[in-house]
């Protein structure tokens, strides 16, 4: 077709191409937090309902390493400057012609010298001097799944301080394990200090036994490096599941609530045994083949009460001789989007348990919205949603002070929560978990004891000691008094069956 008179050639290129409209093999980036499908929910009133851009802060100039969101710059080549009507915004955009808001993996926390990673222990309580541990030679008991490539083969994950490889127990090819190999010590660390950190993390992890905590099996050495042998979770981490946007879909409430309940059960177990995780995030929550959630990575965890599990007198057990709560010294610990305001402030010593409560609520926000609704917990105009939360709690507390009886059930109103966090008991529970004042923040023990939470469907028992009574969630009246019952759930997206065939009986999505 020939050019019209006066029309010049134009070439346009953009990084904002979608796999739905191009031949690119690159998967689509996760969408903006509030892209939940209001249009499909109520098309008739769509013009009156808020859209994703209404609740998002302007983060265009933020650094991706600090915010946890990657920013792609637009690259365009245009032959002439011509006025065009504004194009319709794609669902992946926060606002028209603006940079995208991505869910970006946080493989490790804030840089080590700022308080996390291998140097984080300098900010925590003093480590034991005498660890009693059984150490093995890795290759005498385990072998790499791909023997030719060995330790240089494909890794399950890689971070600033370690990498994780798949291995099998010798003589048992079907027994798979995830082996976490730590990087060698830095010049700034003494051998003694370095080994204490490795052994502390291992002894804490080894002492934990709960359905929602990863099982740590063995401490080994290989090629002069330390290795933790752990339970293998074939479905990767929760970040990967959230990235697929499957959990954001309408009708996935049971999946979101069940995963959230599993997380809270695991954290409650840790706190009841004197251990705070201090780095709860999507990347540290693994998913098994039967869609169970497991907490992992105790690299910056803290024994805030009782005897350290690595000491001889503990007998390798956690929760021994618990009593006084030891506070953590000021300093940032964790991954920025998940860090509680009292930790960000770095002003005074803090109880690490409310930090875990805060981070767990942020995980639920990711499950509901697909990303966080504020970059960090700072009450400034730049972080509007968090600022609104703080102001809302201040007004609510003032009402309770003025009229205690009338306002005892008062809660702040946060617009994103009003529209998207349902049911009401979940919304109120999250608001209590996100109280800016750690002294007024709900404890995890009270979260799991909440009446609504106890009755929420869950496919995991609260502990290994619980009697198991499985319930088929597809049957009528199965929800009557669901407390104490274990439901059969599948939180994973349906697998592609190919050639357009529907899923077969017994397969996910049937």
Please state the rounded mean pLDDT for residues 443-462.
94
Say yes or no: 351 and 466 in one domain: yes
Examine the fold and report which residue of 196, 231, 266 is the final residue of a domain before the chain moves on: 231
Q: Which of 102-106, 197-201, 446-450, 498-502 has the lowest mean pLDDT?
A: 498-502
Which range of 67-76, 358-367, 395-404 scores highest in mean pLDDT? It is 358-367
Q: How many domains would you assign to the chain?
A: 2
- Give residue 271's pLDDT: 98
Q: Output b/e per residue, 244-279; b: 16+ Cβ within 10 A.
A: ebebbeeebbbbbbbbbbbbbbbbbbbbbbbbbbbb
pLDDT band, residue 54 (cuts 50/70/90):
low
- Give residue 303's pLDDT: 96
485 pLDDT exceeds 90? Answer: no
pLDDT band, residue 47 (cuts 50/70/90):
very low
Residue 110 lies in a domain: no
Q: Which residues contact 169 (CB under 8 A, 6 or more apart)?
A: 141, 142, 175, 177
- Between 168 and 12, name the one with better pLDDT: 168
Say yes or no: 469 and 385 in one domain: yes
- Give residue 233's pLDDT: 95
pLDDT digits (tens, 9 = 90+) for 124-139: 445 566 666 889 999 9
Examine the fold and report which residue of 185, 206, 231 is the final residue of a domain before the chain moves on: 231
Say yes or no: 213 and 246 in one domain: no
Please state the rounded mean pLDDT for residues 316-339.
92
Cα–Cα distance, 415 to 482 (Å, whole number): 31
Residue 37 lies in a domain: no
Say yes or no: 266 and 341 in one domain: yes
Residue 81 lies in a domain: no
| Strand-pair partners of 285 | 295
pLDDT digits (tens, 9 = 90+) for 172-213: 888 999 999 998 888 888 888 898 999 999 999 999 999 999
- Give residue 295's pLDDT: 98
Cα–Cα distance, 271 to 447 (Å, whole number): 12
Are 308 and 328 a contacting pair, CB within 8 Å? no
- DSSP E strands in 7-140: the ranges are 135-137
Residue 18 lies in a domain: no
| Strand-pair partners of 167 | 144, 177
Say yes or no: 171 and 279 in one domain: no
From the list 446, 423, 294, the residue with the least C-alpha distance to 357 is: 446
- Give residue 20's pLDDT: 41
pLDDT band, residue 158 (cuts 50/70/90):
confident
In 3-state terms the chain splits into helix, strand, coil percentages (rounded to 5) of 30, 10, 60
From the list 47, 17, 50, the residue with the least C-alpha distance to 34 is: 50
Q: Tell me, what CATH number does 445's domain have?
A: 1.10.510.10
pLDDT band, residue 121 (cuts 50/70/90):
very low
51 pLDDT exceeds 60? Answer: no
DSSP letter string over 445-486? HHHHHSHHHHHS--SS-SSTTSPP-EE-TTSTTTTTT-TT-E
Note if the bond before 161 is cis, omega within 30 degrees. Answer: no
Checking phi first, is residue 186 left (phi over 0); if not, alpha (psi -120 to 50) or beta? Answer: beta
- Give residue 497's pLDDT: 52
Say yes or no: 333 and 258 in one domain: yes
Q: Tell me, what CATH number does 196's domain have?
A: 3.30.200.20
Determine if the pTM surpasses 0.95. Answer: no
Say yes or no: 269 and 133 in one domain: no
Checking phi first, is residue 377 left (phi over 0); if not, alpha (psi -120 to 50) or beta? Answer: beta
Residue list, annotated binding site: 180
pLDDT band, residue 433 (cuts 50/70/90):
very high
- Give residue 283's pLDDT: 94
Cα–Cα distance, 94 to 98 (Å, whole number): 7
- What's the token pair of residue 412? 């702040």
pLDDT digits (tens, 9 = 90+) for 493-510: 887 655 555 555 555 555
Residue list, annotated binding site for ATP: 180
Cα–Cα distance, 508 to 494 (Å, whole number): 5
Q: Which residues contact 497 (CB under 8 A, 6 or more apart)?
A: 503, 504, 507
316 pLDDT exceeds 70? Answer: yes
Phi, psi of 267 (to 5 degrees): -65, -40
Say yes or no: 374 and 407 in one domain: yes
471 pLDDT exceeds 90? Answer: no
pLDDT digits (tens, 9 = 90+) for 229-267: 999 999 999 999 999 988 888 889 999 999 999 999 999
Please state the rounded mean pLDDT for residues 14-32.
42
Examine the fold and report which residue of 206, 231, 256 is the final residue of a domain before the chain moves on: 231
Cα–Cα distance, 23 to 117 (Å, whole number): 40
List, by residue number, the catalytic residues: 279
Q: Which of 10-14, 96-100, 282-286, 384-388 has the lowest mean pLDDT?
A: 96-100
- What dihedral do alpha carbons 98, 102, 106, 107 form, nearest 10°? -120
Residue 46 lies in a domain: no
From the list 414, 423, 489, 412, the residue with the least C-alpha distance to 452 is: 423
Are 430 and 361 a contacting pair, CB within 8 Å? yes
Residue 463 lies in a domain: yes
Please state the rounded mean pLDDT for residues 65-78.
38
Say yes or no: 213 and 262 in one domain: no
Residue 88 lies in a domain: no
Cα–Cα distance, 55 to 49 (Å, whole number): 12
- Between 43 and 54, name the one with better pLDDT: 54
Residue 11 lies in a domain: no
Provide the domain limits for residue 209. 127-231
148 pLDDT exceeds 50? Answer: yes
From the list 490, 488, 491, 454, the residue with the least C-alpha distance to 472 is: 488
pLDDT band, residue 35 (cuts 50/70/90):
very low
- Give residue 165's pLDDT: 92
Say yes or no: 207 and 267 in one domain: no
- Between 362 and 407, name the one with better pLDDT: 362
Cα–Cα distance, 3 to 366 (Å, whole number): 49
Say yes or no: 200 and 295 in one domain: no
DSSP letter string over 193-205? HHHHHHHHHHHHH
At CB < 8 A and 24+ separation, what contacts does 24-28 make?
28/92
- Between 506 and 226, name the one with better pLDDT: 226
Look over the chain and give the mean of its residue pLDDT values, rounded to a whole number: 77
Are 385 and 55 a contacting pair, CB within 8 Å? yes
- What's the token pair of residue 478? 């199965």
pLDDT band, residue 151 (cuts 50/70/90):
low
Say yes or no: 402 and 473 in one domain: yes
Percent of the chain predicted with pLDDT > 70: 67
pLDDT digits (tens, 9 = 90+) for 387-420: 999 999 999 999 988 888 877 889 999 999 999 9
């Amino acid at each position: 077709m020939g050019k019209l008179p006066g029309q010049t050639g134009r070439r346009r290129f953009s990084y904002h191409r979608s796999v739905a409209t191009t031949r690119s093999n690159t998967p689509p980036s996760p969408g903006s937090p509030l892209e939940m499908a209001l249009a499909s929910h109520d098309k008739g009133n769509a013009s009156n309902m808020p859209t994703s851009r209404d609740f998002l802060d302007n983060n265009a100039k933020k650094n991706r390493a600090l915010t946890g969101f990657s920013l792609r710059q637009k690259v365009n080549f245009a032959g002439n400057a011509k006025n065009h009507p504004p194009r319709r915004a794609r669902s992946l955009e926060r606002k028209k012609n603006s940079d995208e808001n991505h869910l970006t993996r946080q493989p490790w926390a804030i840089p080590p010298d700022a308080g996390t990673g291998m140097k984080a222990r300098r900010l925590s309580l003093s480590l034991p001097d005498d660890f009693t541990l059984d150490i093995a030679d890795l290759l005498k008991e385990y072998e790499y799944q791909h023997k030719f490539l060995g330790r240089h083969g494909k890794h399950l994950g890689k971070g600033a301080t370690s990498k994780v490889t798949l291995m099998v127990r010798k003589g048992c090819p079907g027994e798979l394990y995830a082996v976490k190999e730590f990087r060698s010590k830095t010049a700034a660390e003494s051998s003694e200090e370095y080994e204490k950190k490795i052994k502390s993390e291992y002894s804490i992890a080894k002492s934990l036994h709960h359905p929602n905590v990863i099982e740590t099996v063995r401490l080994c050495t290989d090629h002069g490096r330390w290795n933790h042998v752990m339970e293998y979770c074939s479905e990767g981490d929760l970040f990967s599941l959230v990235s697929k946007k499957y959990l954001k879909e309408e009708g996935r409430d049971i999946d979101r609530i069940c995963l959230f309940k599993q997380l809270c059960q695991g954290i409650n177990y840790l706190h009841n045994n004197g251990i705070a995780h201090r780095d709860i995030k999507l990347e540290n929550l693994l998913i098994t083949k039967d869609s169970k959630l497991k907490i992992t990575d105790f690299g910056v965890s803290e024994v805030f009460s009782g005897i350290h599990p690595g000491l001889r007198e503990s007998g390798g057990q956690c929760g021994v001789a618990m009593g006084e709560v030891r506070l953590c010294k000021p300093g940032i610990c964790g991954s920025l989007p998940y860090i509680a305001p009292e930790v960000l402030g770095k002003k005074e010593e803090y109880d690490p348990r409310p930090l875990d409560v805060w981070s767990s609520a942020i995980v639920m926000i990711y499950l509901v919205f697909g990303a966080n609704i504020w970059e960090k917990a700072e009450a400034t105009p730049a972080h509007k949603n968090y600022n609104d939360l703080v102001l809302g709690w201040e007004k609510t507390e003032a009402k309770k002070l003025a009229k205690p009886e009338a306002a005892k059930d008062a809660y702040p109103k946060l617009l994103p929560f009003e529209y998207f966090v349902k049911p009401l008991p979940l919304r109120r529970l999250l608001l209590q978990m996100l109280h800016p004042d750690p002294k007024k923040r709900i404890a995890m023990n009270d979260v799991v004891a909440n009446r609504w939470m106890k009755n929420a469907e869950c496919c995991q028992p609260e502990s290994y000691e619980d009697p198991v009574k499985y319930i088929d969630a597809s049957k009528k009246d199965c929800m009557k008094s669901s407390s104490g019952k274990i439901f059969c759930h599948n939180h994973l997206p349906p697998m592609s069956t190919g050639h357009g065939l529907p899923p077969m009986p017994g397969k996910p999505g049937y």
